[in-house]
């Protein structure tokens, strides 16, 4: 990574600000003064600014309570993205684990940990994702049985889900795949329609209900350890 990017990503200031310091000779890499902002910092090199060690953070884990109307993307465009909600100097290294539809709310993990993301998303690990689905029509016992048996969809048959009726038209559903619009399509198959969808759990992680929609917090060490298991 370029030296100026390294320093600004580590929160030392804007690119312009850190470039001035680099050119002034206040930055050392492995105890050698480097005056070129484009200098390529080797992995694990000791970088100092004004004699103080600057360390890039790695292993960053956030839980976001995704609001409606923001898209799960790292590409900034006209529509607000989940990344626009995050304030962190190394935001450019972060990405959401998986995807929620624009109108889905709830738990989304944002991290820089590609390995964990892969482990959580690979179908072979059958990671559970729990949603509260609010439906247009009332749900009955036969719908629950069908969800628990596995719903045939166009491109695949959903594995048996765990389904609990919470109210006439509210179901708590846990699925182990994460196909495009999967929950909505499962209820469509039953002749119903999802009016509201909120993810409340992902593997061992439960949505922190004290987070307002759009709010986020760091995962605790315990939550990170559990998620990695
Ligand atoms: N299933 C859906 O249909 N939408 C989501 O956002 C997540 C799961």
CATH number, residue 21: 3.10.290.10
Average pLDDT over residues 60-85: 94
CATH number, residue 152: 3.30.70.1560
Catalytic residue among 84, 93, 101, 208: 101
Please check whether residues 178 and 167 belong to one and the same domain. yes
Please check whether residues 192 and 92 belong to one and the same domain. no
Please check whether residues 34 and 85 belong to one and the same domain. no
Please check whether residues 188 and 217 belong to one and the same domain. no
Which of 197, 199, 200, 207 gets mutated to test ligand 1 (max ligand atoms within 8 A of its CB)?
Answer: 197
Relative to beta strand 104-111, strand 194-202 is parallel
CA-nearest of 55, 95, 54, 65 to 213 is 65
For residue 18, the model assigns a pLDDT of 96
Average pLDDT over the chain, rounded to whole? Answer: 96
Domain extent, residue 81, equals 61-122+205-228
For residue 91, the model assigns a pLDDT of 87
Nearest C-alpha to atom 2 of ligand 1 is from which residue?
A: 181
- Cβ–ligand 1 distance for 9 under 6 Å, the answer no
- Annotated active-site residue 101? The verdict is yes
For residue 68, the model assigns a pLDDT of 96
Nearest C-alpha to atom 4 of ligand 1 is from which residue?
A: 181
For residue 192, the model assigns a pLDDT of 98
Quick check: 20 pLDDT over 90?
yes
d(CA 185, CA 142): 17
Please check whether residues 223 and 115 belong to one and the same domain. yes
Please check whether residues 152 and 190 belong to one and the same domain. yes
Q: Give tens-digit pLDDT for 144-182.
A: 999 999 999 999 999 999 999 999 999 999 999 999 999
Distance (Å) of CA 32 to CA 26, 62, 116: 10, 35, 35
Please check whether residues 109 and 78 belong to one and the same domain. yes
Q: Which of 54, 76, 95 is the last residue of a domain?
A: 54
Please check whether residues 155 and 190 belong to one and the same domain. yes
For residue 92, the model assigns a pLDDT of 86
Task: Using the mean position of ligand 1's atoms as its centre, give its distance from the Cα of residue 204 in Å.
Answer: 19
Q: What is the pTM of this model?
A: 0.88
Q: Give tens-digit pLDDT for 99-156.
A: 999 999 999 999 999 999 999 999 999 999 999 999 999 999 999 999 999 999 999 9
Q: How many structural domains is the chain composed of?
A: 3
Please check whether residues 142 and 175 belong to one and the same domain. yes
For residue 11, the model assigns a pLDDT of 87
Please check whether residues 113 and 223 belong to one and the same domain. yes
For residue 229, the model assigns a pLDDT of 87
Please check whether residues 66 and 42 belong to one and the same domain. no
Contacts 24+ apart (CB under 8 A), 189-193: 189/146, 189/151, 189/152, 189/153, 190/139, 190/143, 190/146, 190/147, 190/151, 191/137, 192/135, 192/136, 192/137, 192/139, 192/143, 193/135, 193/136, 193/137
Q: Among the atoms of ligand 1, which is closest to the Cα of residue 100?
A: 6
CATH number, residue 66: 3.30.70.580
Q: How confident is the model at residue 57 (pLDDT cuts 50, 70, 90)?
A: confident
Give 95's contacts (C-beta < 8 A, 6+ positions apart). 74, 83, 110, 111, 112, 117
Task: Using the mean position of ligand 1's atoms as its centre, give its distance from the Cα of residue 188 in Å.
Answer: 12
End-to-end CA gap in the chain:
31
Task: Using the mean position of ligand 1's atoms as its centre, give its distance from the Cα of residue 222 in Å.
Answer: 27
CA-nearest of 134, 108, 120 to 200 is 108
Please check whether residues 134 and 117 belong to one and the same domain. no
Average pLDDT over residues 196-213: 97
Task: Using the mean position of ligand 1's atoms as its centre, give its distance from the Cα of residue 163 in Å.
Answer: 15
């Amino acid at each position: 990574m370029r030296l100026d990017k390294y320093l600004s990503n580590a929160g030392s200031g804007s690119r312009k600000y850190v470039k001035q310091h680099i050119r002034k000779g206040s930055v050392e890499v492995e105890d050698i003064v480097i005056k070129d902002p484009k200098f390529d910092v080797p992995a694990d090199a000791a970088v100092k600014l004004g004699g103080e060690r600057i360390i890039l953070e790695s292993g960053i884990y956030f839980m976001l309570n995704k609001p409606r109307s923001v898209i799960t993307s790292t590409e900034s465009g006209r529509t607000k993205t989940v990344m626009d909600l995050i304030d962190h100097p190394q935001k450019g290294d972060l990405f959401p684990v998986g995807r929620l539809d624009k109108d889905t709310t709830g738990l989304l993990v944002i991290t820089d940990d590609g390995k964990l993301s892969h482990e959580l998303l690979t179908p072979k690990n059958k990671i559970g994702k729990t949603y509260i689905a609010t439906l247009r029509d009332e749900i009955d016992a036969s719908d629950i049985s069908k969800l628990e048996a596995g719903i045939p969809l166009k491109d695949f048959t959903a594995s048996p889900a765990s389904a609990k009726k919470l109210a006439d038209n509210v179901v708590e559903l846990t699925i182990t795949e994460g196909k495009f619009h999967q929950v909505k399509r499962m209820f469509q198959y039953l002749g119903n329609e999802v009016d509201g969808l909120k993810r409340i759990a992902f593997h061992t992680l439960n949505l922190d209900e004290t987070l307002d929609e759009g709010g986020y917090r760091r995962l605790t060490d315990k939550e990170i350890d559990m998620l990695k298991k």
